[in-house]
Amino acid sequence: MIVYEKGDKTVVSIIKPSVAMSVIENEKLESISRDVEERLKQVFESIQ
């Protein structure tokens, strides 16, 4: 997650863990990354 200010607004960016971990080709990490992605999605939606 990246948080920064742009002018008078706060910008929040999140990289999808499933995309980041897909290059590693490890099934356990892919499973964990999907779980983390869902949790990050919930956090992101709660701050919008």
pTM for the predicted model, two decimal places: 0.68
Q: pLDDT at position 24, please?
A: 87
Checking if the pLDDT of 21 tops 90, the result is no
Q: pLDDT at position 5, please?
A: 96
- Supply the mean pLDDT for the chain: 90
Checking if the pLDDT of 7 tops 90, the result is yes
Q: pLDDT at position 27, please?
A: 85
Q: Count CB neighbours of 42 within 10 A.
A: 9
Q: Which residue is associated with the tokens 């706060």? A: 10
For 15, which DSSP code? -
The radius of gyration computed from the CA coordinates of the chain, to the nearest angstrom, equals 13
Cβ(7)–Cβ(28) below 8 Å = no
